């Protein structure tokens, strides 16, 4: 057994033995631009068979939704990535130490309320929260920001008001419930969370480099990283959108408990941008207002696309614990808020 362990250890991640690893690494990396060219050329060569294979209506509708989710989210992802790079490069860590209260218990609600100023959807908030953690903000506060920003910013609240013209209380309920869940998750993380669940964001600091290098390096890294996970989420959302039949929803709408759970699950599966989900919720007229509020609170906090992006930014260990807790809490809080306000 001792003979087998030595070579495997050697091939894994030896921190020092760069000389031994270099040829192997080099050949792998030398191929990456070549591989890209080959993949692109092959795809161009075989475009006719590929197109024929994709001609079935299900596949076409799948691809349309897939492309649509990616195109819709990309500008907001780029916005978030630029903002996150700006935070990482131009804002000194001491700024956050001064701006946020010293005690994490107080920093959580302040950071949660600060989410109101990031005008974007959830794709933007993941890289920004990652940058906040790297800049030394307490994870509990950064997570509160991550959850509240996509739900309570002015654009999203305006969209909600437009989508529910007859029910202005929906806007208030959405704001209150989202902020409550964000703060509660922040406090929960502060009490129960362990630092080793949170993978230190996979990037060294940019100290010692020019600002331009650091800024564009951060942009490139974040787009490649979060963009890849965005594609994963878009594929999942497209699959569900073109496969799940609408009749299932009707069956669920009759039962008050089931309808809340069904719309919560639907919010996770559909992964709709938080700027658009109010309109979708408004069209689900078979469901009660409380069920639709659940849809609006759960969706921006946790969905397939977000889960993939959170796992990519903070690590899978974190995402596997954080996502179910967020989901449960969001459902609970929106049911209570709906009972009180709606």
Partner 1 sequence: MKPEKPLEPEKPLESEKPAKSRLNHQAQAALLFLLGATVLHAGLTDLHLRYVKSGLRPLLLLSGAVLIAAAAATVWYEWRRRPHSGHLGEPHREPRVSWLLTLPLFALILVAPPALGSYSANHTGTALTKPLGYPDLPDKGPLRLGVGEYAARAVYDHGRHLRGRPISITGFVALDGTGAPYLVRMSLNCCAADAQPVKIALTGEVPPVLQPDTWLEITGTYTPRRTKDPVNDGPVPYFRITHAKPVPAPSDPYDDAWNG
Within 235-294, the residues that bind partner 1 by CB under 8 A are 235, 237-238, 241-242, 245-247, 249-250, 270-273, 275-277, 279-280, 282-283, 285-286
Among positions 228, 254, 256, 324, the unique one binding partner 1 when judged by CB under 8 A: 228
To partner 1, the closest distance from the beta carbon of 81 in angstroms equals 8
Measure the CA–CA gap between 45 and 42, rounded to whole angstroms.
5
Question: Of 59 and 340, which has the nearer Cβ to partner 1?
Answer: 59
Residue 342: partners with Cβ closer than 8 Å, 6 or more residues away: 167, 169, 170, 173, 289, 290, 293
Using the contact rule CB under 8 A, the part of the chain among 104-112, 128-136, 231-239, 295-303 near partner 1 is: 231-239
| Residue 168 engages partner 1 in binding (rule: CB under 8 A) | no
To partner 1, the closest distance from the beta carbon of 305 in angstroms equals 10
To partner 1, the closest distance from the beta carbon of 224 in angstroms equals 4
Show the CA angle centred on residue 198, arms to residues 188 and 89, nearest 5°: 110
| Residue 41 engages partner 1 in binding (rule: CB under 8 A) | no
Question: Of 22 and 340, which has the nearer Cβ to partner 1?
Answer: 22
Task: Kindly identify the residues of this chain, within the stretch 126-165, that bind partner 1 according to CB under 8 A.
Answer: 162-163, 165
Question: Of 147 and 156, which has the nearer Cβ to partner 1?
Answer: 156
Q: Is 280 helix (H, G, I), strand (E, B) or coil?
A: helix
* Binding flags for partner 1, 178-207, as an x/- string (CB under 8 A): ------------------------xxx-x-
To partner 1, the closest distance from the beta carbon of 286 in angstroms equals 7
Nearest to 175 by CA among 266, 274, 80: 274
| Residue 20 engages partner 1 in binding (rule: CB under 8 A) | no
Helix boundaries (H) for the chain: 2-11, 18-45, 47-53, 57-90, 93-99, 104-114, 122-134, 139-152, 154-163, 169-192, 211-243, 247-253, 256-270, 277-283, 289-301, 304-314, 316-341
Task: Kindly identify the residues of this chain, within the stretch 57-96, that bind partner 1 according to CB under 8 A.
Answer: 57-58, 60-61, 63-72, 74-79, 82
The CA radius of gyration of the chain, in Å to the nearest whole number, is: 22
Structure letter (DSSP) for residue 117: G
C-alpha of 82 from chain center: 16
Residue 255, both tokens: 């039962």
Question: Of 199 and 321, which has the nearer Cβ to partner 1?
Answer: 199
Number of residues that bind partner 1 (CB under 8 A): 87
């Amino acid at each position: 057994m001792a003979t087998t362990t030595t070579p495997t250890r050697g091939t894994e991640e030896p921190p020092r033995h760069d000389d031994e690893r270099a040829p192997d690494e080099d050949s792998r990396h030398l191929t990456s631009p070549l591989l890209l060219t080959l993949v692109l050329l092959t795809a161009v060569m075989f475009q006719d068979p590929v197109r024929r294979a994709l001609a079935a209506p299900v596949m076409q509708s799948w691809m349309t939704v897939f492309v649509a989710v990616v195109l819709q989210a990309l500008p907001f992802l780029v916005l978030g990535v630029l903002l996150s790079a700006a935070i990482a490069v131009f804002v000194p860590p001491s700024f956050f130490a001064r701006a946020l209260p010293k005690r994490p218990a107080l920093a959580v609600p302040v950071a949660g309320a600060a989410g109101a100023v990031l005008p974007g959807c959830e794709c933007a908030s993941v890289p920004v929260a990652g940058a906040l953690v790297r800049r030394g903000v307490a994870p509990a506060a950064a997570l509160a920001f991550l959850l509240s920003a996509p739900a309570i910013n002015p654009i999203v609240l305006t969209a909600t008001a437009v989508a529910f013209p007859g029910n202005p209380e929906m806007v208030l309920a959405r704001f209150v419930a989202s902020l409550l869940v964000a703060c509660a998750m922040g406090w929960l993380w502060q009490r129960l969370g362990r630092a080793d669940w949170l993978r230190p964001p996979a990037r060294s600091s940019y100290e010692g480099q020019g600002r331009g290098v650091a800024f564009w390096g951060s942009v490139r890294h974040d787009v490649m990283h979060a963009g890849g996970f965005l594609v994963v989420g878009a594929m999942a959302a497209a699959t569900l959108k073109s496969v799940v039949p609408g009749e299932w929803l009707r069956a669920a709408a009759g039962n008050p408990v089931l309808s809340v759970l069904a719309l919560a699950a639907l919010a996770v599966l559909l992964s709709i941008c938080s700027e658009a989900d109010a309109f979708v919720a408004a069209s689900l007229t078979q469901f009660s207002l409380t069920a639709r509020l659940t849809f609006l609170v759960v969706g921006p906090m946790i969905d397939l696309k977000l889960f993939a992006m959170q796992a990519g930014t903070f690590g899978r260990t974190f995402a596997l614990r954080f996502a179910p807790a967020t989901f449960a809490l969001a459902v609970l809080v929106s049911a209570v808020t709906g009972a009180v306000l709606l």
